Amino acid sequence: MEPTVARRIPPGADGVPNGQPLLHVDRLSKDFGGLRAVNGCSFSVRSGSITGLIGPNGAGKSTVFGLISGFLRPDEGRVYLDGDDITGLPPHQVFRRGLCRTFQIPREHASLTVLENLMLVPPDQLGERFWNPLLRPLAVRRQERTIREKAQEVLEFLTLSHLRDEYAGTLSGGQKKLLELARTLMADPRIVLLDEPAAGVNPSLMARIREQLVQLNAERGITFLLIEHDIPLVMGLCDPVIVMNQGTKLAEGPPALVRGDPRVLEAYLGGQYGAADD
C-alpha cells in the first residue's frame, strides 16, 4: 500500500478532534544487529497535546522517532497517523501527511542562507520543476514572493529576522535549534516531533522556545511530541508524559503521576532506588 495523493492541511486544523489519537504506534520493534533498540513499543499521541517522551539514555526514544518519520523501517509493528497506516513510507511522504520532525543534532543546509533554508520547505513549489523557471518565470517569481513573505513571518515569530541572510552553518547551536523549529513551521504541520529541543540551548533562549511551543500549540493547534532530558522542562510543558525504558513504554500519565511512579525512578536511578523506596 503506497498512498500517493498528498493531503494539504490548512494551518491550525489537523482534522482530528482534540483529545483523539492523532498519532498511534502499535507494537513497534527494531533490531540493530543483535541489539533490540525498540521492543514492542505502543503509545498514542492525542491531538492538541504536547506529549513528552522521556527515558534514560538508550531507551530507544530517537529510534522511535526514526521509525515514525520514515528514516528507519520497523521490523515489526505499525505506525498510524490519523488512522492511516504510514508504516514504511519514506520521510518525504510522511512529511506530506503533516508530520515534521527535528533532529537531535541540528541538520541545517549549511551553505544556504537562513532565509533559503526556510524557503526550501513549502511543498510542490512551481519553480522546483526544471522547466518552470525558464518557461514561466513570472509565475515562479510570484510564488517565490509569497513563500518569502511567509518565511519572513516565521523568522519574525521566532525572533531570527536579524540572521536572515547569514549562512545557516554559522549560527550558534541554539539558533540552529530555532531554525529547525522554523522549518517545521514553514510546512503548516499537524504534528511536530522535536528531538531534544533544549539540548545545548542556553536557558534564556530555551525559555523563548518553550513560550513559542505553547503559543503554537494553543493558537495553531499543532500537536507536539518531544523527547527531552531536561526533566523540569518536560514536567512543566508536557501532558501527558510517556516514559520509555529498554525499548518499550514503561509508564504514561500526567507529569505529577509519572514523577512519583516507582518504576520510573527505578529505570532512571537503578534497582537500588526502587528497592529502597518500598
Partner 1 sequence: MSDVALIKSLLLTIPLAFLVFRALPAGLALAARLPLALALGWTVALGVTLLVPTGVMSYLASFAIVGSIYAVIALGLNVQWGYTGLFNIGIAAFFAVGAFTSALFTTTAPTGVAAGFTQQAFGLGAPFLVGVLAAGVVAGVLAAVVGGPTLRLRDDYLAIATIGIAELVRLVFQNERWLANGPQPLRGIPQPLVCLVREAGCPWLPAPIMGLFAPLSPRDYTYVYLVITALFVIVTFMVLERAVRSPWGRLLRAVREEEDAAAMNGKDVARIKLQAFVVGAVIMGMGGALYAHYMVAIDYSHFDPLYATFLIWVMLMLGGSGNNRGAILGAFVIWGVWTGAAFAVDALRPALAAISPELPARGPYLRLLLIALLLIFILLFRPKGLIGEERFVSRHSGSREA
Residues that bind partner 1 (CB under 8 A): 69, 71, 90-92, 95-96, 100-101, 103, 107-113, 115-117, 119-121, 123, 125-130, 132-134, 137, 140-141, 144-145, 148, 164-165, 167, 183, 187
- Shortest distance, CB of residue 120 to partner 1, whole angstroms? 5
- Shortest distance, CB of residue 241 to partner 1, whole angstroms? 25
Task: Find out whether 27 and 42 touch, Cβ atoms under 8 Å.
Answer: yes
Is the Cβ of residue 53 or residue 187 nearer to partner 1 in the bound state? 187
Is the Cβ of residue 161 or residue 212 nearer to partner 1 in the bound state? 161
Best CA proximity match to 257, nearest among 45, 9, 52, 28: 52
Is the Cβ of residue 92 or residue 263 nearer to partner 1 in the bound state? 92
- Shortest distance, CB of residue 45 to partner 1, whole angstroms? 18
Q: Are strands 76-81 and 21-32 parallel, antiparallel or unpaired?
A: antiparallel
The tally of CA atoms less than 13 A away on the side-chain side of residue 114 is 25
Per DSSP, 168 falls in state G
Within the chain, how many helices (H) and strands (E) appear? 11, 10
- Shortest distance, CB of residue 225 to partner 1, whole angstroms? 15
Is the Cβ of residue 8 or residue 263 nearer to partner 1 in the bound state? 8
DSSP 58-102: TSSHHHHHHHHHTSS--SEEEEEETTEE-TT--HHHHHHTTEEE-
- Shortest distance, CB of residue 238 to partner 1, whole angstroms? 22
For residue 100 the three cell numbers come to 515534521
What is the C-alpha to C-alpha distance for residues 98 and 16, in angstroms, rounded to an integer? 12
- Shortest distance, CB of residue 71 to partner 1, whole angstroms? 7
Residue pointed to by grid coordinates 511512579: 261
- Shortest distance, CB of residue 159 to partner 1, whole angstroms? 18
What is the C-alpha to C-alpha distance for residues 153 and 185, in angstroms, rounded to an integer? 10
Is the Cβ of residue 167 or residue 268 nearer to partner 1 in the bound state? 167
Is the Cβ of residue 28 or residue 118 nearer to partner 1 in the bound state? 118
Is the Cβ of residue 35 or residue 134 nearer to partner 1 in the bound state? 134
Task: Find out whether 221 and 46 touch, Cβ atoms under 8 Å.
Answer: no
